[in-house]
Amino acid sequence: MDEAVIPHAQRSQVNFSLSSSLGNRLAPSPTLLINERVRRMWANGETVFHLGFGESRFPAHPTIVRALVKHASRQGYLPSAGIPELRQAVASFHSRQLNREICPDQVIVAPGSKSLLFAFQMALAGATVLHTPSWVSYEPQSRLFNRPVLRLPASPEDSHRLYPRRLHHLLRHSPHSQHLLILNSPSNPTGQMLEPALLEEIADICRREKVLVLSDEIYGLTAFGREHVSISSFYPEGTVVLGGMSKHLSLGGWRLGTALVPPGEKGQQLLQAVAKVGSELWSTASAPIQYAAVTAYSDDAELAAYVEMCTALHASRTRYLWRGLSELDIPCAEPMGGFYLFPNFDHWRRPLTSLGVQTSVDLARYLLEDWQIATLPGSDFGTPPRELSLRLSTSYVDLETDEKAAQMIERANAGACAAQLLRDHHPGMNEVLARLKKLLSSL
Ligand code: PMP
Ligand code: GLU
């Protein structure tokens, strides 16, 4: 038939089907989904207390903004692993942090550490091992290319502790010959940290079993419960350290992640494989952002002080909510880093069941629909569906707008102490606690 006589609607219907391998294995990432949903609800004028998304809301530091403006006209593609100046700056930054020498050729940068996680999982043979609950994207990424995932479950009763002998048992009985252990300390979703003695034990097991560790340390500079120690200090030859600018510098939307591979030839092989994946997926991290990141990773006392101040604010806000939950007798491990809590509501299972709440997904839905509190279900983080756990992030509530976040920083800069800031700037957090109290007393 002549093109011109085909009706327009018919012409626009292209006959295609979605790949079954993708369609059946992937849902939208729950963190981004809840954030978009809450933003739509706000746009419709609805009240929602947003504990669903973890994003540090504080302003970009002016020194880094100036560096970005200076380099805004950088328009060209750059080397896949990153520009030499940035790889050098990241190496020097981590040499100071880790107290040992990191060479620039051990560094690769990408648009976000999420992309790097994907590339490492894609590049490596074997299975991924996850201490569970674990961050939402590790497993869905593995599913994209049929990578097996083994879970090492932890329990809310003992603050989600990792037991080395269970890890050893799991590795010994695994049907796979190679493993990648993903660790995340401080942890999203539990806010827990792995203490040095435990890291040392894990390192010994991994060395014996020839397991590569991918240590997601994106919250390393937002630790407040104890000093952050990297497992790479005990196992440098077998650890990849992931980081980036999203959390401690509040620059999630700038999309800049970093990875340090182990020294030596094997590390270089791995870096080249990841750079190849990157070269086919994102080509290179954005040019202006890379140049601005050189400043962000410089040895600048003012930037370090800003990171410290933001971390102190996350600490007091997260501890405040934790104390409120504890006063309501809601079991929840005391936070040590980042801005997350992982409370458990199993104690109220029976009355909740009569309200139709049987799973953590039901619980999150009920809290959003009936109490206007946005959270994420524990099952998005790999806990059993019927365990009534939720992931709460304190990063958004009472900092919903950029103005509110800037105001809090201004007051902190002017010397206001944590107690004053909590008193003056946390109506939303108090309202969440009041609603939870009302909910529990109604059960
Ligand atoms: N790991 C963890 C544990 C996270 O919480 C995040 C942020 N969602 C990421 C990795 C990815 O961060 P980005 O891609 O912004 O570097
Ligand atoms: N880290 C954030 C969270 O867990 C969200 C960003 C993301 O998932 O990419 O809520």
Q: How confident is the model at residue 3 (pLDDT cuts 50, 70, 90)?
A: low
Per-residue pLDDT tens over the stretch 180-205: 999 999 999 999 999 999 999 999 99
pLDDT range class, residue 11, cuts 50, 70, 90: low
Q: Give the model's pLDDT for residue 22.
A: 72
Proximal ligand: closest to the CA of 391: 2
* d(CA 184, ligand 1 centre) in Å: 10
CA of 394 to the centre of ligand 1 (A): 16
Pocket residue to mutate for ligand 1, from 113, 215, 314, most atoms within 8 A of Cβ: 113
Q: Which of 174-188, 257-271, 406-420 has the lowest mean pLDDT?
A: 406-420
Residue 30 Cβ contacting ligand 2 at under 6 Å = no
For ligand 2, whether the C-beta of 140 sits within 6 Å is no
Mean pLDDT of 7-24: 72
310 Cβ closer than 6 Å to some ligand 1 atom: no
Confidence of residue 4 (pLDDT cuts 50, 70, 90): low
296 vs 7: which has the higher pLDDT:
296
Q: Mean pLDDT in the chain?
A: 95
Q: Is 188 in the pocket of ligand 1 (CB under 6 A)?
A: yes
**Cβ of 57 less than 6 Å from ligand 2:** no
> Which of 50, 188, 222 has the most ligand 2 atoms within 8 A of CB, as the residue to mutate?
188
Average pLDDT over residues 247-252: 98
Pairwise CA distance, residues 392 & 341, whole Å:
5
Higher-scoring residue by pLDDT: 17, 215: 215
Smallest CA separation from ligand 1 atom 8, residue: 54
Cα-Cα-Cα-Cα dihedral sign, residues 325, 329, 333, 336: positive
In whole angstroms, give the CA distance from residue 187 to residue 247.
Answer: 12
Choosing from 136, 340, 397 the residue with most ligand 2 atoms within 8 A of its CB, the one to mutate for a pocket test is 136
**Structure confidence at residue 1 as a pLDDT band (50, 70, 90):** very low
Mean pLDDT of 14-38: 82
Overall average pLDDT of the 214-221 stretch: 98
Ligand 2 proximity of 188 Cβ (cutoff 6 Å): yes
Please tell me what DSSP assigns to residue 337. Answer: B
**Average of per-residue pLDDT across 420-425:** 88
pLDDT given at position 347: 97
Contacts of 133 (CB under 8 A, 6+ apart): 154, 160, 189, 190, 342, 378, 381, 382, 383, 389, 391
- pLDDT at residue 6, as a whole number: 62
* Burial letters 154-186, b for 16+ CB under 10 A, else e: bebeebbebebeebbebbeebeeeebbbbbbbb
> pLDDT tens across 375-404, in order?
999 999 999 999 999 999 999 999 999 999
Candidate from 15-24, 83-92, 236-245, 409-418 with smallest mean pLDDT? 15-24
Residue 23 pLDDT: 65
Q: How far apart are CA 415 and CA 421, in angstroms?
A: 10
Measured in Å, residue 116 CA sits from the centre of ligand 2 at 15
Percent of the chain, pLDDT > 90?
90
Q: What is the pLDDT of residue 5?
A: 59
Contact 304, 298 (CB under 8 A): no
Distance of CA 50 to the CA centre of its chain: 17
The yes-or-no verdict on residue 322 having pLDDT over 70 is: yes
Mean pLDDT, to the nearest integer, of 204-217?
98
Q: Is the predicted pLDDT of residue 108 greater than 90, yes or no?
A: yes
338 lines ligand 1 (CB under 6 A): no
**Cβ 393 under 6 angstroms from ligand 2:** yes
- Ligand 1 pocket check: which of 55, 56, 218 to mutate, most ligand atoms within 8 Å of Cβ? 218
Taking CA atoms only, the protein residue closest to ligand 2 atom 4 is: 54
**% pLDDT > 70, the chain:** 97
Q: Whose CA is nearest to atom 1 of ligand 2?
A: 54
What atom in ligand 1 is closest to the CA of residue 252? 15
CA-29 nearest atom, ligand 2: 8
pLDDT at 7: 64
Task: Assess whether the C-beta atom of 184 lies below 6 angstroms from ligand 1.
Answer: yes
Which atom of ligand 2 sits closest to the CA of residue 135? 4
**pLDDT for position 277:** 97
Residues with Cβ within 8 Å of 192's Cβ and at least 6 positions away in sequence, in order, are: 159, 160, 161, 185, 186, 333, 335, 336
Exposure string for 267-291, b = 16+ CB within 10 A, e = fewer: beebbebbbebbeeebebbbbbbbb
User: Which ligand has the nearest atom to the CA of 217?
Assistant: 1
Average pLDDT over residues 346-374: 96
Q: Answer whether 113 contacts ligand 1 (Cβ < 6 A).
A: yes
- Check: pTM over 0.85? Answer yes or no: yes
Residue 416 has pLDDT above 80, yes or no: yes
pLDDT in tens, 263-320: 999 999 999 999 999 999 999 999 999 999 999 999 999 999 999 999 999 999 999 9
pLDDT at 417: 87
- Predicted confidence (pLDDT) per residue in 117-173, tens digit: 999 999 999 999 999 999 999 999 998 888 999 999 999 999 999 999 999 999 999
Q: Which atom of ligand 1 is nearest to the CA of 216?
A: 1
